[in-house]
């Protein structure tokens, strides 16, 4: 179980893995995630399911090397097996009932935006996609997004696509569109999702954000993933991960993500030394 | 030593208790166990058994211990409990078997729980014959005490048992909740390993309701399903400040320590290193969280809204907590968690409480004393105020009837409102005890087997 079948580097720090995981593949839908442990002494970490093949019992997900656990994950090769993987977790993204949607992805969040965009396109929702990256060498899934139709790529430094932020592109598109029954689906860094939500709020456009708090079990048991949504406590792993962006307390979510930053940094450096990888 | 007093449990040295997760209660020596067993009066009417939820033949097993026959004592225990090494350690004996012990009228009751533990720890493990499979498949959801007991019973009769567990590790609360210093994981692992050797198929990393539905399990050939998914969702108080950095559910804090091994110095799972921590609640969960935080180097205060005698935790745990240096702020209740600009916890605002007349359930009511606010400075808060039930297992399936508070409604056999679906343990009772969960698992197994064989006859 959990054998790594394929490993494809999408950019220097972002990798797509395909694993054997029959129990996850069986019911996986767009927007859901899995939790894995690369090794028996690793943390449990969540990744959105990028693609699932029910027949073959395989799932693909995309990770970015950001800390010790992803670095250890990255040290595994095709043919190795992950210690554990469980899913699909969370509620699938509502992809039906909309006529048109703009899907916005930022950085590695595009790995989550793509399956949602694809599912909506398959259901004949009129979709437009916007993806944003810091610079050209970080771009992922450009071909896939383009294949879905109207797509805009932008970069913070202008090294590819439009020079600017996704919110700049989004603002323009909103002006040109009848926003009556429009949905904006957005996933990426918290600051980006906050900016997108602030923008769409002023236009009264329904906005769903896929939240990515710290998690342990992913079944509602620990409460580590809790967020304030419309002043109420919600657990992202079972009540989400999608929430109404106009109701999420982003400032709190940003603060909560910081909690173990210090230890993460230490562990990352330690893992770099162990695996003899140069960081930065 | 006087006949009136029980043998004193040898304990780990206090210094070590405050800094390590080694088991605190070391267990009786052979001599102690024999002397303690001889205190049993072998009463004809066996009052102690009335207090045991699974009706262990207590005077009988103690009789064997008094004669030094540990293996036979263990055999008697195993007739009614599949987890004696666990129950001897974690049962609230003072409100069960030991409460009815005749010795307690004049002195101290026989230390039944400690003797149970002694027998389980020192007996030669039973040799199990692997029973030939009858090919009838049964699914169990959850690998806590309810699920394990159910599996243990079914496998004895040749049923083909599969236990589905959402987490990567088996054992439910025994593994992720109760800390090493109270219940060493090797004991839990040993029980699970025995079940595995006897043929139980454990499938971890499967969340029923998400990875597969109950209806699918029934369609795919499982004749019956036992739902033992526990009462795992943490409650919060719904007061301001609960999402500040430094506030945790006891489940999160204990899961990091136990399941994710954060108590080991080189663990990859981070744990908040509070200097001054407050634990809210008075049950076993609160004691476990407080004593764990202490071992992580924090100064710990337990805040509980009633008084000392109402603490629902096992008496021994409260005693151990006090010895180790946990402070108790009783008759007080938090109304707000205070924080700074960085959203970090800086303290708790509380009110003083007073006890009133007992209500219908016999529990004393508790009310706020007006104008009694006060604050305690701290950098971490752990909420251990109980749990809720999860609906996850039934997602995507036709549900069963539930109480208003979420508990699954079952008959005396553990049967739910849906044929072939049984339930037991915390998912039925709400957060309760290991022994009750175990008893429910065993009873349900018996009922399931009866139902399945009746059905086969009529076919
Ligand atoms: C910290 C703590 C200390 C305690 N101390 C004591 C004590 O000293 N004495 C005592 O008697 N009792 C104690 N208890 C209570 C006791 O542990 C429980 O009453 C008992 O474990 C309940 O058993 P259970 O089998 O019903 O559920 P659990 O032990 O909760 O097991 C349920 C299992 O089901 C799994 N599960 C849930 N949903 C799904 C799903 N959809 N699919 C697959 N798997 C699922 C869970 O992951 C879990 O492993 C304590 C509890 C805690 C939390
Ligand atoms: S990750 Fe534990 S409750 Fe959501």
Flag if B167 and A256 touch (Cβ within 8 Å). Answer: no
In this complex, the residue of A27, A233, A255 whose CB is nearest that of residue B236 is A233
Could you say which ligand is closest to the alpha carbon of residue B393?
A: 1
Chain A residues within 8 A of B204 when measuring between CB atoms: 84
Tokens coding B140: 């169990």
CA of B447 to the centre of ligand 2 (A): 34
Question: What pLDDT sits at residue B328?
Answer: 97
Of the listed ligands, the closest to the CA of A216 is 2
- Among candidates B211, B249, B251 on the partner chain, residue whose Cβ is nearest the Cβ of A23: B211
Which of chain B's residues have a Cβ under 8 Å away from the Cβ of A215?
none
d(Cα A219, Cα B316) in Å, to the nearest integer?
32
- Provide the 3-class DSSP secondary structure of residue A177: coil
Q: What's residue B27's pLDDT?
A: 96
- Between CA A128 and CA A102 the distance in angstroms is 5
Instruction: Determine the distance separating the centroid of ligand 2 and the alpha carbon of A88, expressed in angstroms.
Output: 14
**H or E, element range at B214:** helix B214-219
User: Which DSSP symbol is given to B245?
Assistant: B
- pLDDT category, A273, cuts 50, 70, 90? low
Q: From the CB of residue B366, how many other CB atoms can be counted at a distance below 10 Å?
A: 16
**Atom number, ligand 1, closest to the C-alpha of residue B440:** 26
Q: What CA–CA distance (Å, rounded) separates B251 from B234?
A: 7
Tokens describing residue B221: 């050939």
Would you place residue B332 in the very low, low, confident or very high pLDDT band (cuts 50, 70, 90)? very high
Task: Please tell me the distance in Å from A41's CA to the nearest CA on chain B.
Answer: 7
Contacts B211 to A, Cβ<8 Å: 23-24, 26-27, 86-88
Angstroms from A162 CA to nearest CA on chain B = 35
Residue A265's pLDDT band (boundaries 50, 70, 90)? low
| Contact: A23, B342; criterion CB under 8 Å | no
| Residue A278 clears pLDDT 60, i.e. is over it | no
For the cut 90, the answer to whether the pLDDT of residue A97 exceeds it is no
CA distance B216 to B136: 16
Decide which of 3.40.50.720, 3.40.50.970, 3.50.50.60, 3.30.1700.10 is the CATH code for B137-232+389-458.
3.50.50.60
Class of the domain covering A2-89: mainly beta
| Residue in A86, A222, A227, A240 to alter for ligand 2 test, most ligand atoms within 8 A of Cβ | A222
What integer pLDDT is reported at residue B129 of this predicted model? 73
Query: What torsion, rounded to 10 degrees, do the Cα atoms B304, B310, B316, B320 define?
Result: 30
* Closest residue by Cα to residue B35 from B64, B57, B69, B66: B66
Residues of B in Cβ contact (< 8 Å) with A259: 245, 270, 272
Q: Would you state the structure tokens that stand for residue B50, as one six-digit string?
A: 């009335």
Q: May I ask the CATH architecture of the domain B14-122? A: Orthogonal Bundle (1.10)
- Mean pLDDT score of chain B, rounded to an integer? 93
Q: What is the DSSP track for B265-325? A: TT-SS-----SEEEEE--SHHHHHHHHHHHHTT-EEEEE-SS-GGG--S-HHHHHHHHHHT
Q: Measuring from each residue's beta carbon to the nearest atom of ligand 2, which residues come in under 6 Å?
A: A 215-218, 220-225, 235, 237
Q: How far is B81 from chain A (nearest CA, A)?
A: 27
Using pLDDT thresholds of 50, 70 and 90, give the confidence band for residue B458.
Answer: confident
Q: For residue A219, what are the CA distances in angstroms to A30, A240, B124?
A: 18, 11, 39
Nearest to B210 among A89, A252, A263 (CB): A89
Dihedral class, residue A196 (left if φ above 0, else alpha if ψ from -120 to 50, else beta): alpha
> How far apart are the CA of A74 and the centre of ligand 2, in A?
25
- Numbered ranges of CATH 1.10.1060.10 in chain B: 14-122
Q: Per-residue pLDDT averaged across A126-130, rounded?
A: 93
Report CA dihedral (B80, B85, B91, B97) to the nearest 10 degrees.
Answer: 50
Residue ranges, CATH 3.50.50.60, chain B: 137-232+389-458, 234-383
Distance from CA of A172 to the nearest CA of B (A): 35
Q: In angstroms, what CA-CA distances link B123 with B7, B23, B73, B75?
A: 20, 19, 8, 9
Spacing, Cα B283 to ligand 1 middle (Å): 14
Using CB atoms, which residue from A27, A43, A216 is nearest to B210? A27
Secondary structure of A261-272 as H, E, C letters? HHHHHHHHHHHH
Cβ neighbours of B104 (radius 10 Å): 16
| Pocket, ligand 1, Cβ cutoff 6 A | B 90-91, 141-147, 164-167, 172-173, 177-178, 207-209, 228-230, 232, 254, 284-285, 288, 314, 390, 392-393, 425-427, 431-435, 437
User: According to the model, what pLDDT value does residue A280 have?
Assistant: 42
The DSSP bridge partners found for residue B249 are B383
Task: Specify the CATH architecture of the domain A100-257.
Answer: 3-Layer(aba) Sandwich (3.40)
Minimum-distance ligand 2 atom for the alpha carbon of A215: 1
How far apart are the C-alpha atoms of B281 and A98, rounded to whole Å?
Answer: 46
Q: Tell me, in angstroms, the distance from the centre of ligand 1 to residue B431's CA.
A: 8
- pLDDT greater than 60 at residue B273: yes
Pull the structure tokens for residue A87: 């899913």
What sign does the CA torsion over B188, B190, B194, B200 have?
positive
Average pLDDT over residues A54-75: 92
Q: Do B212 and A23 touch (CB under 8 A)?
A: yes
Mean pLDDT estimate for chain A: 91
Tell me how far apart the alpha carbons of residues B233 and B355 are, in angstroms, rounded to a whole number. 29
Task: Calculate mean pLDDT across residues B133-139.
Answer: 94
Residue B347's pLDDT is 97
Which ligand sits closest to the CA of B435? 1
Cα–Cα distance, B285 to B387 (Å, whole number)? 10
Cα–Cα distance, B379 to B373 (Å, whole number): 19
Query: Which residue from A43, A249, A255 is facing B260, i.e. has the nearest CB?
Result: A43
Token readout for B345 is 């916890």
Residue-wise pLDDT tens digits, A11-33: 888 999 999 999 999 999 989 99
Domain B234-383 is classified in which CATH homologous superfamily?
A: FAD/NAD(P)-binding domain (3.50.50.60)
- Here the ipTM equals 0.91
Is the CB of A228 inside 8 Å of chain B's CB atoms? yes
Cβ <8 Å between A228 and B243 = yes
pLDDT over 80 (residue B19): yes
Q: With pLDDT > 70 as the criterion, what percentage of chain B qualifies?
A: 99
pLDDT average, residue stretch A88-103: 91
Pick from A82, A51, A50, A87: nearest CA to A69:
A82
Q: Which residue of A has its CA nearest to B343?
A: A255
Phi, psi of A261 (to 5 degrees): -50, -40
Q: CA B149, CA B146: separation in Å to the nearest integer? A: 5
On whether the CB atoms of residues B313 and B283 are closer than 8 A, the answer is yes
pLDDT at A272: 66
C-beta of residue B441 within 8 angstroms of C-beta of residue B145: yes
Please tell me the residue having the least CA distance from ligand 1 atom 20. B434
pLDDT in tens, B81-108: 888 999 999 999 999 999 999 999 999 9
Distance A70 CA to ligand 2 centre (A): 20
For an interface test with A, the pick among B216, B256, B268, B406 (most A C-beta atoms closer than 10 Å) comes out as B268
Kindly report, residue by residue over B338-393, the tens digit of the pLDDT.
999 999 999 999 999 999 888 887 788 899 999 999 999 999 999 999 999 988 99
Q: For residue B178, what are its two tokens? A: 């109760």
Residue A139 CA, chain-centre distance (Å), reads 14
Ligand closest to CA B232: 1
| Residues B410-430: tens digit of each pLDDT | 999 999 999 999 999 999 999
Predicted confidence (pLDDT) at residue A268 exceeds the cutoff of 70: no
Mean pLDDT of A196-201: 96
Given an 8 Å threshold on Cβ–Cβ distance, is A217 in contact with B248?
A: no
CB-based contact B236 A216, cutoff 8 Å: no
3-state class (DSSP) for residue B456: helix
- B406 CA from centroid of ligand 2 (Å): 19
Question: In angstroms, how far apart are the furthest CA atoms of chain A?
Answer: 55
pLDDT at A56 > cutoff 90? yes
Q: B213 CA distance to ligand 2 centroid (A)?
A: 20
| Dist CA B211 CA B232 (whole Å) | 18
Which ligand ends up closest to the CA of B250?
1
User: Which sequence spans correspond to the domains of chain A?
Assistant: 2-89, 100-257
In this prediction, residue A279 carries a pLDDT of 46
């Amino acid at each position: 179980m959990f054998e790594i079948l394929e490993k494809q580097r999408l950019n220097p720090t972002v990798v797509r893995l395909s694993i054997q995981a029959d129990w996850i593949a069986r019911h996986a839908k767009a927007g859901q995630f899995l939790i894995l442990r690369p090794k028996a002494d690793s943390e449990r970490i969540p990744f959105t399911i990028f693609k699932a093949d029910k027949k073959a019992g395989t799932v693909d997900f995309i990770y970015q090397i950001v800390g010790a656990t992803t670095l250890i994950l990255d040290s595994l090769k095709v043919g190795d097996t992950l210690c554990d993987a469980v899913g699909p977790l969370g509620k699938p993204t509502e992809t039906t009932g909309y006529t048109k949607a703009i899907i916005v992805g930022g950085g590695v969040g595009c790995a989550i935006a793509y399956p949602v965009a694809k599912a909506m396109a398959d259901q004949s929702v009129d979709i437009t996609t916007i993806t944003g990256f810091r610079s050209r060498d970080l771009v992922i899934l450009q071909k896939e997004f383009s294949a879905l139709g109207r797509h805009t790529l932008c970069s913070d430094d202008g090294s590819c696509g439009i020079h600017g932020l996704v919110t700049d592109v989004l603002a323009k598109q909103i002006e040109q569109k009848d926003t009556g029954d429009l949905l904006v689906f957005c996933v990426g860094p918290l600051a980006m999702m906050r900016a997108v939500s602030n923008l769409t709020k002023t236009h009264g456009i329904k906005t769903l954000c896929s939240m990515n708090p710290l998690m342990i079990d992913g079944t509602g048991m620990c409460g580590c993933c809790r967020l304030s949504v419309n002043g109420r406590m919600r657990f992202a792993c079972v009540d989400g991960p999608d929430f109404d962006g106009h109701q999420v307390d982003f400032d709190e979510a940003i603060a909560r993500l910081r909690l173990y930053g210090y230890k993460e940094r230490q562990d990352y450096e330690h893992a770099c030394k162990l695996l003899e990888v140069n960081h930065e | 030593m006087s006949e009136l007093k029980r043998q004193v449990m040898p304990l780990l040295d206090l210094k070590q208790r405050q800094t390590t997760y080694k088991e605190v209660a070391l267990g009786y020596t052979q001599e102690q166990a024999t002397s303690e067993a001889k205190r049993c009066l072998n009463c004809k009417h066996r009052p102690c058994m009335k207090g045991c939820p699974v009706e262990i033949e207590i005077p009988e097993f103690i009789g064997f211990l008094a004669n030094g026959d540990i293996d036979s004592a263990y055999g008697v225990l195993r007739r009614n409990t599949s987890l004696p090494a666990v129950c001897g350690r974690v049962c609230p004996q003072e409100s069960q078997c030991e409460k009815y012990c005749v010795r307690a009228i004049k002195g101290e009751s026989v230390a039944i729980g400690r003797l149970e533990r002694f027998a389980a720890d020192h007996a030669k493990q039973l040799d199990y014959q692997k029973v030939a499979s009858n090919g009838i498949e049964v699914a169990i959801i959850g690998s806590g005490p309810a699920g394990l007991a159910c599996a243990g019973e079914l496998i004895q009769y040749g049923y083909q048992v599969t236990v589905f567990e959402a987490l990567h590790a088996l054992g439910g609360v025994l593994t992720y909740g109760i800390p090493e210093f109270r219940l060493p994981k090797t004991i839990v692992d040993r029980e699970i390993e025995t079940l595995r050797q006897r043929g139980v198929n454990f499938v971890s990393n499967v969340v029923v309701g998400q990875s597969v539905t109950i209806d699918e399990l029934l369609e795919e050939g499982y004749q019956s399903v036992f739902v033992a998914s526990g009462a795992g969702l943490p409650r919060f108080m719904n007061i301001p400040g609960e999402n500040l950095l430094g506030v945790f559910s006891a489940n999160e804090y204990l899961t990091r320590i136990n399941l994710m091994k954060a108590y080991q110095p080189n663990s990859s799972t981070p744990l908040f290193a509070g200097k001054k921590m407050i634990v809210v609640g008075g049950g076993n969960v609160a004691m476990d969280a407080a004593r764990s935080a202490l071992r992580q180097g924090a100064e710990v205060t337990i805040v509980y809204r009633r008084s000392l005698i109402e603490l629902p935790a096992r008496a021994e745990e409260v005693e151990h907590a006090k010895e180790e240096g946990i402070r108790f702020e009783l008759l007080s209740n938090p109304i707000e968690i205070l924080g700074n600009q960085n959203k970090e916890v800086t303290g708790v605002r509380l009110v003083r409480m007073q006890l009133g007349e007992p209500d219908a359930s016999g529990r004393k009511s508790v009310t706020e004393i007006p104008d009694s606010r006060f604050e305690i400075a701290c950098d971490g808060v752990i909420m251990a105020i109980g749990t809720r039930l999860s609906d996850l297992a039934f997602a995507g399936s036709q549900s069963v009837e539930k109480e208003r508070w979420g508990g699954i409604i079952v008959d005396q056999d553990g049967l739910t409102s849906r044929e072939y679906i049984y339930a037991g343990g915390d998912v039925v009772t709400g957060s309760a005890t290991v022994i009750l969960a175990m008893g429910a698992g065993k009873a349900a197994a018996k009922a399931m087997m009866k139902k399945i064989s009746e059905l086969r006859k009529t076919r």
